[in-house]
């Protein structure tokens, strides 16, 4: 007998006050006999669930006890289901949880909550690009975070050989379909891009986590640090105003600052972690841009151009 079905049955009784075994069976797609055994199991476990004999009877919580799902208001319930609803379309566990939450709501809230759950669909994929698959390690790392277990992993940075770490997992973050693990290594906070983790093993060793750790605040600090790193190198170019939106999409909204020169041209400052990344990003726009400074970016563009001609020319 599954514990989640028992919980769902109890929530259903709390929402409706009284149910019959036939109603429970129809709600959870089980037999009447199974529903009756579930109700008897709740009663045997000490929960004040009692059968009511006769016409109009059924099973009822002692005293008609009911719940409004921890005191949620109608507006709060609607906001909750607007948030959870989109996930239910792609995650089976979320769909099951949503159904149980609906049953826990008072009748007066239920219609709006169900409508809210179906009101929004989130499609994170960009036009012309398939949605990025969630890295297989995400599920395993989620378990490690929840159960507070250390993780031994092998990680390859974009510019270095793999290294092995013993990490205290503190939380996971998804940003623009890319997953990150925040954790502690030798007492210091580290950020791992999960798709660069070669392998990971959840150990039986308890993980350490600071008592005052807040995942949202920690991630905000990571974002600030990354934005600062993105400004390590910069270049000034002149280009057509029509090109500026494409540069923003390529380098990032915060990395591009433009000032209009006239109705057709703009002076643009572009930032990136390194000059070579600037040059490689601008190489595809060669016929539309004039690099004013620094000279080192111009030199790198010339080197790239010569390499392209040499490799692909007649």
Q: CB within 8 A of 295, min separation 6: which ones?
A: none
Nearest to 172 by CA among 199, 196, 153, 145: 145
What angle do the packed helices 32-44 and 3-16 form, to 10 degrees?
90
Beta bridge pairs of residue 202: 151
What structural domains and CATH numbers belong to the chain?
Answer: 3-61 (1.10.10.10), 74-118 (no CATH), 136-214 (2.30.30), 231-312 (3.30.70)
In 3D space, the residue among 152, 97, 88, 151 whose CA is nearest the CA of residue 122 turns out to be 88
pLDDT tens, residue order, the chain (314 aa): 455 677 677 777 777 778 888 888 888 777 788 888 888 877 776 667 778 776 667 888 765 444 455 556 667 667 666 766 666 665 666 677 777 777 777 676 777 777 877 787 777 777 877 877 889 999 899 999 989 999 999 999 876 789 999 999 999 998 888 999 999 999 899 999 999 999 999 999 999 998 888 888 999 999 988 888 777 899 999 999 999 999 998 998 888 999 999 889 999 999 998 899 999 999 999 889 999 999 999 999 999 999 988 888 77
As a dihedral over the C-alpha atoms of residue 54, residue 58, residue 61, residue 66, rounded to 10 degrees, the angle is: -120
The answer to whether the predicted template modeling score (pTM) of the entire model surpasses 0.75 is: no
How far, in whole angstroms, is CA 141 from its chain's centroid?
Answer: 13
CB 258 within 8 A of CB 245: no
pLDDT attached to residue 56: 64
pLDDT of residue 11: 74
Q: Between vectors from CA 188 to CA 135 and to CA 196, what angle results, nearest 5°?
A: 20
Give 194: exposed, middle or buried? Use CB within 10 Å, 0-12, 13-18, 19+. buried
Instruction: Give the pLDDT confidence score for residue 63 in this predicted structure.
Output: 53
Q: Tell me if 269 sits within 8 A of 236, measured CB to CB.
A: yes
Report in angstroms the alpha-carbon separations of 1 from 102, 153, 184, 296: 22, 37, 40, 70
Strands (E), the chain: 18-19, 49-52, 58-61, 149-155, 163-175, 178-185, 188-193, 197-206, 233-240, 256-260, 265-272, 289-293
Rounded CA gap, 4 and 7, in Å? 5
């Amino acid at each position: 007998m599954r514990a989640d079905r028992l919980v769902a049955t109890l929530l259903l009784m709390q929402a409706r006050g009284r149910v019959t075994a036939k109603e429970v069976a129809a709600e959870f797609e089980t037999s009447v006999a199974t529903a009756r055994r579930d109700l008897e199991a709740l009663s045997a476990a000490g929960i004040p669930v009692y059968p009511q004999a006769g016409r109009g009877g059924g099973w009822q919580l002692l005293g008609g006890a009911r719940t409004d799902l921890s005191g949620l208001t109608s507006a709060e319930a609607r906001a909750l289901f607007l948030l959870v609803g989109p996930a239910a379309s792609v995650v089976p566990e979320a769909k099951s949880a949503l159904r149980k939450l609906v049953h826990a709501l008072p009748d007066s809230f239920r219609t709006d909550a169900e409508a809210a759950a179906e009101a929004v669909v989130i499609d994170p994929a960009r036009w012309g690009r398939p949605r990025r698959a969630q890295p297989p390690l995400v599920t395993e790392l989620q378990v490690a975070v929840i159960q507070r277990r250390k993780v031994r992993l092998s990680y390859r940075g974009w510019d270095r050989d793999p290294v092995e770490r013993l990490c205290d997992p503190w939380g996971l973050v998804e940003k623009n379909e890319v997953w990150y693990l925040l954790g502690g290594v030798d007492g210091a906070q580290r950020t791992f891009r999960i798709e660069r983790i070669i392998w990971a093993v959840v150990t039986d060793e308890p993980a350490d986590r600071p008592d005052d750790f807040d995942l949202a605040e920690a991630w905000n600090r990571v974002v600030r640090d990354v934005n600062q790193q993105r400004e390590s190198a910069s270049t000034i170019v002149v280009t057509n105003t029509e090109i500026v939106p494409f540069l923003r999409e390529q380098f990032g909204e915060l990395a591009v600052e433009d000032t209009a020169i006239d109705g057709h041209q703009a002076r643009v400052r572009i930032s990136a972690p390194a000059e070579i990344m600037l040059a490689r990003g601008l190489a595809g726009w060669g016929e539309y841009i004039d690099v004013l400074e620094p000279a080192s970016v111009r030199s790198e563009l010339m080197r790239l151009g010569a390499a392209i001609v040499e490799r692909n020319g007649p």
